[in-house]
Amino acid sequence: MGEIQDQLFILIGALVCLKYLLKCVKFSKYFLLRLWNPLPKSFFRSMGEWAVITGAGDGIGKAYSYELAKHGLNIVMISRTLEKLQAVAKGIEQTTGSQVKIIQADFTKDDIYENIKESLQGLEIGILVNNVGMVHNYLPSHFLSGPDKIQNLIHCNISSVVKMTRLILRDMEIRRKGLILNISSGAGRFPCPLYSLYSSTKAFVCTFSKALQAEYKEKGIIIQVVTPYSISTPMTKHINPNKITKTADEFVKESLDFVAVGDETCGCLAHEILAHLLDFIPSWVIYSDLAQNIFLIHCTNYLKQNSNIQ
């Protein structure tokens, strides 16, 4: 009996060591990526002629639109505010020479997808960036204290990813190539108290993306979920950038280098390091009343001091 227990403990220890060894190998890619597995300059353009970006009027979506246009793709920008789309489209066309098509759509609604489908007819779409999203409560708060925007949040953060993917994935499958980037959040990597609804919707994006990648990777399609932490955008009230908080342009440019890393990436080295550090914190610490109270006070103060909150 004692020998069996010893062998069991040895096996468990070996599996734990193997798990962390694999994490270290994956993590090392971020340091060695350009030497280890550099993407050819023509990679993004080789996926197809057009890239579709949701939530493209500002923030991360705007940055992806510019960056993919610089890689030679024509851009379809989809967002709610027509004036923002027109201004960004004009800037992209003038600076890159790429064609830009704009589609006005409010992703908090559920009756927009037939019009989007008709507007995309005939386009060879090689890249889809499911970026559009919203936060239930910018400042941390308990679920019942947040605003009553639950259905809007579900439509925007979950339905948009599923329905846009369904619209575009079929043609990618026929052509046996394509890239789908689903923008989730670091808050979706684990249940995040005081951001419970936002965290849950972003966790769905993580699970959905990884499941799809398992289904379609053999068909030449890359589906990657991107889980950034703090990015300075209108959604985050233009929080002050620092070594951890990236500007949208900085983040997007770096994240495109990590498309070959695997089915999930934080998008930049700083956020990947932060994610690995957070993984060492036991869940019972994160979910304790003391931790939540400390986070509620200090995070609220930090956001108020470093964000453009009206």
**Residues acting as catalytic residues:** 198
CA gap 213, 71 in Å, rounded: 24
Instruction: Give yes or no for a contact between 200 and 206, defined as CB atoms under 8 angstroms apart.
Output: no
Decide: residue 281, CB within 10 A, 0-12 exposed, 13-18 middle, 19+ buried.
exposed
CA gap 82, 74 in Å, rounded: 19
62-65 own/partner pairs: CB under 8 Å, 24+ apart: 62/88, 62/248, 63/248, 63/249, 63/251, 63/252, 63/253, 64/129, 64/131, 64/181, 64/252, 65/92, 65/100
CA gap 34, 30 in Å, rounded: 9
